[in-house]
Amino acid sequence: MTLSMLLISLFTFVELNCENLFDCRHDSLKNDTEFLPDGSYHWTRTRYWRKLNRVGQTIIACGEKQVGVLQGKELKDVDYVKGRSWQLPDMVALCEVENDSVLHDLTRRSLLRNARYEYVMTNSPDERGIDVALVYSPFSFRLINSHSVRVEPIRNMRPTRDILYASGIIASGDTLHVVVAHLPSRRGGERQSRPFRIAAASKVAEVIDSIYNNVSKDAKIIIAGDFNDYSQSASVRLLCSNRMKDISEKATGHNGAKGTYRYQGEWGSLDHILVSESLAASVDNCYIYDAPFLIEPDYKYGGVKPRRNYLGPRYLNGFSDHLPLVATFGW
């Protein structure tokens, strides 16, 4: 090692669609009756707590990482990179979480209870009560600000999830801006529902523009979530045209996953992690975390598929129908 040695801190970011992380209590303002003990999904406290711990297990496992050098980079004055075989993820963007009670149980009473995670989340007009959340370690991200951004429905569009914005200070001393989004589903068909996702993506683009115009044109921004669209879809292209890069576009797993989601034997990535141009140089790696416990054989189509929790109303005692995305950054 030389006197010019730099110590690079690695920051692990995870995006995960939890697949219906509901509690067992009825919210009279939401259509959540399917996820009650007497509902069609027979969602009992036993199943709820098992689900919480499996989400926690997934998050913990995503911290698995062996680092020697920042992958794919030419390091001139860096002779040593801080390595680790495992460390808790620094930040997790979650989709399909019902409310604050669920996040409290996840961070304070599940397998994650000793991780000392903090969180912020939305409270959306979504009819089922589905929201997004950002879980973060206060030791690597000091929260400055967070708020929800409402997506106003266009014609024939149901109320949808709010967009979550958060900003905070990272180890380098820079400000990191994070946007978590869960765009409208493809219910009714991709073509018919496409305008709804474009409308939501346009609102995300407004958030990006606001950061560029009011903070810095070189701001460090991460956008993550379930877009219900692919990398070449109009909604994703809209955001990438605004000086954002889809670092998850070519992400694959190490155990057979070629996307975060599989439908009728076809892999596809509906989940994405986008970063601003100024942050792209700090990306170490981006991959799908398809650990053996998160997948199972696909006997009908061959290969493997996510080990989901439900198939329709049939309980499968799994994890999620989406696999997590993991991105690591060096700063």
pLDDT tens sequence across 74-125: 433 333 344 457 899 999 999 999 999 999 999 999 999 999 999 999 999 9
CB 320 within 8 A of CB 18: yes
**17: closest CA among 260, 304, 196?**
260
Residue range 134-158, pLDDT digits in tens: 999 999 999 999 999 999 999 999 9
Placement of tokens 């206060």 in the chain: 138
What is residue 7's predicted lDDT score, i.e. its pLDDT? Answer: 55
CB 79 within 8 A of CB 4: yes
Residue range 263-272, pLDDT digits in tens: 999 999 999 9
What is residue 65's predicted lDDT score, i.e. its pLDDT? Answer: 67
What is residue 208's predicted lDDT score, i.e. its pLDDT? Answer: 98
Is the model's pLDDT at 69 over the cut of 70?
no
What is residue 72's predicted lDDT score, i.e. its pLDDT? Answer: 45
Q: Report which residue type is found at 326.
A: V
Tell me what the mean pLDDT of segment 51-65 comes to: 95
Residue 302, judged by CB atoms within 10 A of its CB (0-12, 13-18, 19+), counts as exposed
CB 186 within 8 A of CB 199: no
Is the model's pLDDT at 304 over the cut of 90?
yes
Is the model's pLDDT at 321 over the cut of 80?
yes
Q: Which residues pair with 176 in a beta bridge?
A: 168, 220
What is residue 59's predicted lDDT score, i.e. its pLDDT? Answer: 98
Task: Please give the Cα distance from 138 to 122 (Å, whole number).
Answer: 19
Average pLDDT over the chain, rounded to an integer: 92
Task: Please give the Cα distance from 279 to 286 (Å, whole number).
Answer: 13
Joined together, the tokens standing for residue 260 give 């975060």
What are the DSSP E strand ranges found in the chain? Answer: 10-21, 91-97, 118-121, 131-136, 142-149, 163-169, 175-182, 220-226, 244-246, 261-263, 266-268, 271-276, 283-288, 295-297, 304-306, 310-311, 314-315, 325-330
Q: List Cα–Cα distances, 273 to 84, 113, 303, in angstroms.
A: 23, 26, 25
CB 219 within 8 A of CB 278: yes
64 or 176, which is more confident: 176
What is residue 3's predicted lDDT score, i.e. its pLDDT? Answer: 35
Is the model's pLDDT at 235 over the cut of 80?
yes
